[in-house]
Amino acid sequence: MTLHTPGSATPATAAARLIYHKPDVLLDRSTHYCPGCGHGIVHRLLAEVLTELDLPAHTIAVAPVGCAVFAYDYLNVDFVEAPHGRAPAVATGIRRVRPEAFVLTYQGDGDLAAIGTAEIVHAAARGERITAIFVNNGIYGMTGGQMAPTTLLGQRTTSSPNGRDAALMGYPIRITEMLAQLPGVAYAARGTVADVPAIGRLKAMIKRACQIQLNSGGFAIVEALSNCPVGWGMTPLQSLEHLKGPVVDAYPLGVIVDRGLGADTHPAAGTACPAPSHPEA
Ligand SMILES: Cc1ncc(C[n+]2csc(CCOP(=O)(O)OP(=O)(O)O)c2C)c(N)n1
Ligand code: SF4
Ligand SMILES: [Mg+2]
């Protein structure tokens, strides 16, 4: 490989090792996310996985309402914008009319675990063949840092200024564990953007969740524990330490369920969740 050494007019020849190449599907534009925000890391992982699986041309993604509302500005795949919480319902419609498409949803915790609770539960219960990316930063980031169902006990937010009190505001929801109980869920896992090794493991989870859809498995969800330095009132570095500490303690990392890669994991195949027989049929 021919390299231009800085400060030298002539190219130097040297063996070079490519450390990182930005996937073409990740568009070249400046970010609207706050400094240190984890959404950009999740976007990059998605871009890498979609590229590695040769999926960009076949993908129809569903964008959320929340800070990631502009996901379609960063990833060069077809996108549909869903109303708040409705991404799984929109994705279901896409799946039904475009059975050949690779269907992806991207939602925050306010979007998925609060406003769209019904949609995510029923999409998972139906075993919709979609891959759901769930970015849990424990807060409503976009609207000014209000409490979400995922907010930790004791966490101060603009709507829980004295800290989340279980007696008044209930307990945090581990929604990925809840969904994992449903037979239509082929894969459910939780990773984090907290540090480099964890980001590598999160990427492997996202890849597995995509491969399950490609192999006609059922619903697959990957929760990415992320940081919101602005909403948490922390510097980016403080927020990453907080993520690795109390947030991971409350939301354990790892694969929660993996019912297998292949088509026989889908409820429609009749193995995991047999349909009742109808004598009149
Ligand atoms: C039905 C509905 N309710 C509320 C809102 C206002 N709203 C927009 S973004 C948002 C918070 C999103 O939080 P989250 O999904 O956690 O995403 P984040 O910004 O934290 O990534 C809310 C409440 C809305 N647009 N529509
Ligand atoms: S408010 Fe929070 S989630 Fe939204 S862009 Fe800023 S850091 Fe990220
Ligand atoms: Mg959030």
* pLDDT for residue 134: 99
- Measured CA angle at 272 (ends 269, 273), to 5 deg: 90
Q: Using the mean position of ligand 1's atoms as its centre, give its distance from the Cα of residue 138 in Å.
A: 12
Picking from 243, 223, 191, the residue whose alpha carbon sits closest to that of residue 37 is: 243
Picking from 46, 45, 38, 47, the residue whose alpha carbon sits closest to that of residue 200 is: 45
pLDDT at 271 over 70: no
Q: What is the pLDDT of residues 145-181, one digit of tens each?
A: 999 999 999 999 999 999 999 999 999 999 999 999 9
- H/E stretch holding 230 reads helix 229-232
Tokens encoding 255 = 């694969």
pLDDT at 54 over 60: yes
Picking from 21, 3, 22, the residue whose alpha carbon sits closest to that of residue 11 is: 3
- What percent of the chain is predicted at pLDDT more than 90? 84
Neighbours of 268 (CB within 10 A): 15
Q: Using the mean position of ligand 1's atoms as its centre, give its distance from the Cα of residue 140 in Å.
A: 6
Q: Using the mean position of ligand 2's atoms as its centre, give its distance from the Cα of residue 37 in Å.
A: 6
* pLDDT for residue 261: 75
Strand-pair category, 254-258 with 219-225: unpaired
Q: Using the mean position of ligand 1's atoms as its centre, give its distance from the Cα of residue 148 in Å.
A: 10
Neighbours of 52 (CB within 10 A): 12
pLDDT at 3 over 70: no
- H/E stretch holding 131 reads strand 131-136
What are the residue boundaries of the structural domains of the chain, listed by start?
Answer: 30-268
* pLDDT for residue 266: 58
* pLDDT for residue 21: 86
Q: Name the residue of 30, 134, 158, 230 to mutate for ligand 2: max ligand atoms within 8 A of Cβ.
A: 230
Tokens encoding 5 = 């050494």
CATH (residue range 30-268): 3.40.50.970
> Which of 43-47, 134-138, 272-276 is the least confident region?
272-276
Find out whether the beta carbon of 117 lies less than 6 Å from any atom of ligand 1: no
Q: What is the pLDDT of residues 194-222, one digit of tens each?
A: 999 999 999 999 999 999 999 988 999 99
Three-class DSSP category at 98: coil
Find out whether the beta carbon of 247 lies less than 6 Å from any atom of ligand 1: no
Residue 85 carries which side chain, given as an amino acid letter? G
> Which of 3-7, 126-130, 134-138 is the least confident region?
3-7
pTM of the model: 0.90
pLDDT at 276 over 70: no
- What span, in angstroms and rounded, lies between the C-alpha atoms of 242 and 140? 17
User: What band does 224 get if pLDDT is binned at 50, 70 and 90?
Assistant: very high
- What span, in angstroms and rounded, lies between the C-alpha atoms of 25 and 42? 14
Report yes or no: 93 and 99 within 8 Å, Cβ to Cβ: no
* pLDDT for residue 262: 66
Q: Whose CA is nearest to atom 1 of ligand 1?
A: 84
